[in-house]
A and B are shown apart, each in its own frame.
Chain A
Amino acid sequence: MEFKVTHRCHTTRARVSRMVLAHGETVLPTFMPVATQAAIKGLTPEQVESLGITLILNNTYHLNLRPGVDVLKAAGGAHLFEGWRHNMLTDSGGFQLVSLSKFTTITEKGALFSSPFTGESTILTPEESISIQHAIGADIIMQLDDVGDLLQGPRVEEAMERSIRWLDRCIQQHESSGQKRTQNLFAIVQGGLNPSLRDKCLDGMLERKDRVSGYAIGGLSGGEEKDVFWRIIKQCADKLPEDRPRYAMGIGFAEDLLVCVALGIDMADCVFPTRTARFGVALTHTGPMNLKLGKYAKDFDTIDTMCPCLTCRDGTSRALLHHIVTHETAAAHALTIHNIVFQAQVMGQARDAIIAGTFPDYLRSFFASYFGDRGYPEWCVAALRSVGVDLLENSNIPMVSGGGAKWEYSDAA
């Protein structure tokens, strides 16, 4: 991997960097859409490519179940199997073991679970995870970590310690495989919501810096308090090395993304933008737009006149989308296209602003447009203040407490 920081924000910790992998270049910071089972739901790889996306995520857990490693090997890897010729990242499969299977048991050897199809007991070890990811062939692969089931308590420390031990086993497996030149292993920082455990984990993983290509921050996005979330991100981003990409796992709300970028994060992924599209929600610069609501039934405007996505450029009206969302797969496609482009635009405009030296202004104008009608979430104000940007300065938009995630639940809202 070739990784080079090219621009830095003069105020915040945000940065622009070039990451060159075996399937081309991706400029960071960037958001990675999720192609869980070898496809961004409803789209073809060419469509995703035309949206200006150069890095997607595949899920190891799912690909290992179907089509399975043997088929992927026969196809020559996931890139060839699914027709994606740009960069790809795979997770370790560990997270899905915990989130999708009720009956996973974590032991030192690995994660013990019963197959959802055959019911037969299987163990996913760190070595096994890496070798599956080798068969998939993603440009970036993740260590198997002990995700833990709780954000607090003694289990967190155990999981954190074990994640470091498993990192060593993953490194060992990766280095002995001969895949090191084309595939890059990332470590995952654990430690729950406990700053001292996070610190301990960071120390342990930084010792192994020469043997890993990048760092992810795991164990967040589990419903924790937003005020705790940003502090953990900041703590990790501050301590992680300058010359390695930093990846915040499972982050997808626009406000979270921009706060993370300001705190020094380079990459993020989440199923949220594509999943919410399938439920009929379009993401916009003034907040999510729930097209199922009756108020859009006779609204002949496009979702966003400034949006370069195919759905908006084509003039598809909110009324037409209202008519088809949750009934026609084509509606899911139209909104998936829009939401992927929205996320990419938020991050792309961040890159431009960082390069132009106007990132603090970009943050202010984005947040004013996004939260102007409701007030700034307190945690966003605090997080951005920590890197020298005060949203409240020269602003008549109030600050409000709570998570602040915007949503259009009903016509009344």
Chain B
Amino acid sequence: MFFIEDGLVIQDPGLQWQQDFFDSHGPAAFFRLSLRASRIEVDQDNFHLAKKISIMSSSISFDLSSSDPSLNDSKFGPRVAKLLIRNIVIDTPGILACTSRGVVPHLSRDNVTRTKGIRWIHVPFESFLEHKPPVPTLQPQQGQSPRINSFLRFSEDEYLLSVSLRDPGDGREMPANTNTFVTANCIRGVRKVTPNDWRSYMIPCNPDIVFSLSDLPLTPPPYSQKRLTKSIERSALWLADILRPSESISDTRNTRSKPSNVFVQMAGSASAPARSAFAGSLVEILHGQEAIGIQPLKCLDEGVAGYVFDMVPLRLALKGVGDVSPDSLTFKSLFQASLLALPQNKPRLVTSVRGPHEALRLIRDVGIDLFDTHWAQQAANFGVALDFSFPAPSTGSGKRDLGHNLYDTMYTRDFTSIMETRDTIPPTSCLCAACSPYSTPSSETISHSSVDGHGMNSDSPNPPYTKAFLHHLLHTHEMSAHSLLAMHNITVMDAFFAGIRDLIPQNKTSLFQAEIQRFFETYTEDTDMDDTTGGDESSNVFKAGEKAWAEVELLRGKGRLTRESEKAKAESAAAANEVLRKEMEEKGAEGGSKAALTVPLAPDGDIVVG
């Protein structure tokens, strides 16, 4: 199925043969064969060829020079690198922040600026499909700025933007994709997006990084071998489409004829052979019409700037695979199956990783470079303030949670900052705007008249926000709680990866391994409740936070349920009030007793968002 030509692993065109083999010999045999074939690959040649090409064809550079060459398994070992696009440097292992409708949830622009860990922002494009053409494509060109940066107001000097069609963290069931389109969600319903649409949106928007369309099933699992084959074929075909240089007239008004840096979402679902086959199709030298389509590229991978692994569709797919549990060994073997045949000098990105434990394992076992902060941002939504660091602090007693569920009434009078404890351990310094409130210098404070500004004493920083205050904001449904928590949680993730970067370089590998172990021993992992490793629901701060959040939402409420409970409450309160009034009369309270007020409730105009 694979053969070598000019130092590259070449795959026999057409997947039918593989499928037949799979069907007749079973997945294990298929996988073994794939592995054997992949091992024939000549690492170094492939490496150099791909490196040369990546410099040639894209504006991205990924410098792996500081990874540890002493590692036996250097292809999958932990690594540190610098990713450079324009003048933006991203140190890896590192983070990218998630957005919803083009904004980092809960953060006004000044608070994005204040959160130094946010350098790379990932934008799911699907919310813009409610207009055709999508509004960002119409943004007037401002100098040399990519339109998507201008539209979303993320200065191209400060932020790197990547764009995918779908939100990688959204696992809701979707109508099936077809050979000609991907289904995506927007507020007006499901939209069909063809590869051609995607090209025509991304070329004018011109983000730093575009995820090519991939066929990642979000229909209920399990997925048949036939479905996986389709998924691989479509994903490869759609990748070829976005790598195709422009030919149509409509593209000529744009400065670029194709997106600058293309990342590919690794197809193959929960099947190692399928993942391996997809990787094979990337490095396969194309011939005939297919080759002409992507000229001057010889194979698809030459046009690929990075690899993306999506945890949400993968976890979904694993539910359909009876004998495989979604544990770290499974992820390791699946991701390695994807990467084995591919050059190692390209960034590897994981979406929707579930917390630091999983991230550490993926760095250690697969050499993953980048993680989005979906989990940490979700925790902020649910009132959980992260509190962990790497290397783990030395503590004596028991396992610690990764954060605090600040809905918990134990924080009502806790006037310590988020990462500070009431015992003697010195607080971990966190640089977020909740733990280290910044101070706007008087000179930068907006002045509204010539006589303003006397007695403004804002040059000294505020003390940190306390758990008690955040607890109050959460219970009163104040949006500020989530702003502070989002800034904090992203900052904790950024610091976590900085700690990892310090330990990976040369000669520190064994130390890194040891610190991972110590981290695992110090902190309780956030796991699924249906995992065998999970405890009961109340022991997980993330689940408890989500539950408390839902209760506050419900209490506050909107819609029919609220009106019903409101009605029931009003009836009982009316009765209670009658009793109350009689009591007052009996006690002979002066005046007013005849004037019981019945003023209608103010209309619920409190908050419309969230």
**Chain A residues close to B by CB (< 8 Å):** 6, 16, 18, 20, 24-25, 27, 37-47, 49-52, 54, 62, 66-67, 71, 74-75, 80-83, 85-86, 98-100, 102-109, 112, 114, 119, 121, 149, 155, 158, 162, 275, 278-280, 297-298, 300, 308-311, 314-317, 319-320, 323-324, 326-334, 337, 341, 344-345, 347-349, 351-352, 355
Contacts and interface: CB of A to CB of B under 8 A. Distances in A.
Interface of B: 100-111, 127-128, 131, 135, 138-140, 151-153, 187, 412-413, 415, 433, 437-440, 444-458, 462-463, 465-466, 468-469, 471-473, 475-476, 478-480, 482-484, 570, 572-574, 576-577, 580-581, 583-584, 589-593, 595-602, 605-610
6 contacts: A75-B469, A103-B580, A106-B592, A278-B608, A308-B446, A334-B109
A52 B447 contact: yes
Instruction: With a 10 A CB-CB cut-off, give which of B437, B570, B609 has the most chain A CB atoms.
Output: B609
A241 B466 CA distance: 42
B457 A39 contact: no
Contacts, number: 282
Instruction: With a 10 A CB-CB cut-off, give which of B108, B466, B472, B600 has the most chain A CB atoms.
Output: B108
A364 B412 CA distance: 52
Given A71-B468, A99-B602, A41 B478 contact: yes
A67 B468 contact: yes
A119 B105 CA distance: 36
Given A66-B476, A103-B580, A105-B584, 20 more contacts: A27-B451, A46-B462, A50-B446, A54-B456, A67-B472, A71-B413, A74-B413, A75-B415, A81-B466, A83-B437, A103-B574, A104-B599, A105-B581, A112-B584, A279-B605, A298-B131, A332-B609, A349-B449, A351-B448, A355-B450
A37 B476 contact: yes
Given A38-B473, A49-B458, A83-B437, A319 B135 contact: yes
B609 A331 contact: yes
A341 B589 contact: no
A50 B600 CA distance: 38
A50 B440 contact: yes
Contacts of A345: 448
A119 B577 CA distance: 10
B580 A121 contact: yes
Contacts of A162: 591
A280 B106 CA distance: 16
A162 B590 CA distance: 12
A319 B148 CA distance: 13
Contacts of A355: 449-451
B457 to A, nearest CB: 6
Contacts of A344: 446, 448
A344 B448 CA distance: 6
A112 B412 CA distance: 27
A200 to B, nearest CB: 18
A330 B110 contact: no
A158 to B, nearest CB: 8
Nearest to A120: B576
A309 B472 CA distance: 28
B140 A300 contact: yes
Contacts of B466: 75, 81
B200 to A, nearest CB: 17
A297 B131 contact: yes
Contacts of B597: 98, 103-106, 149
A26 to B, nearest CB: 9
Contacts of A16: 451
Nearest to A105: B596
Contact of B573 (A103, A311, A328, A332): A103
B440 A149 contact: no
A102 B600 contact: yes
A117 to B, nearest CB: 10
A102 B598 contact: yes
Contacts of A109: 589-590
A65 B438 CA distance: 30
Contact of B103 (A83, A106, A309, A324): A324
A108 B109 CA distance: 51
A320 B147 CA distance: 13
Sort A-B residue pairs by CB-CB distance and give the 4 closest, nearest first: A348-B448, A25-B455, A50-B440, A348-B449
Instruction: With a 10 A CB-CB cut-off, give which of A42, A300, A345 has the most chain B CB atoms.
Output: A42
A40 B478 CA distance: 9
A293 B466 CA distance: 40
Contacts of B444: 50
Given A39-B478, A42-B480, A329 B593 contact: no
A330 B105 contact: yes
A334 B458 CA distance: 22
A89 B438 CA distance: 24
A46 B433 contact: yes
A319 B151 contact: yes
A49 B445 contact: yes
A275 B465 CA distance: 25
Given A16-B451, A46-B437, A52 B476 contact: no
Instruction: With a 10 A CB-CB cut-off, give which of B104, B583, B610 has the most chain A CB atoms.
Output: B610
A62 B606 CA distance: 13
Contact of A320 (B102, B473, B576, B608): B102
Contacts of B596: 103, 105
Nearest to A80: B463
Contacts of A337: 108
Given A47-B111, A74-B415, A314-B109, A320 B140 contact: no
Nearest to B412: A71
A328 B103 contact: yes
Contacts of A80: 463
Contact of A106 (B105, B128, B469, B595): B595
Given A83-B463, A319-B135, A47 B457 contact: no
Contacts of A331: 103, 609
B557 to A, nearest CB: 13
A260 B140 CA distance: 42
A383 B583 CA distance: 48
Contacts of B433: 44, 46
A324 B108 CA distance: 12
Instruction: With a 10 A CB-CB cut-off, give which of B138, B451, B607 has the most chain A CB atoms.
Output: B451
Contacts of B574: 102-103
B483 A320 contact: no
A258 to B, nearest CB: 14
Instruction: With a 10 A CB-CB cut-off, give which of A18, A20, A39, A51 has the most chain B CB atoms.
Output: A39
A60 to B, nearest CB: 14
A310 B415 contact: no
Given A105-B584, A107-B591, A323 B480 contact: no
A323 B101 contact: yes
A20 B590 contact: no
B241 to A, nearest CB: 27
A40 B590 CA distance: 39
A109 B475 CA distance: 32
Nearest to A16: B451
B131 to A, nearest CB: 6
A41 B480 contact: yes
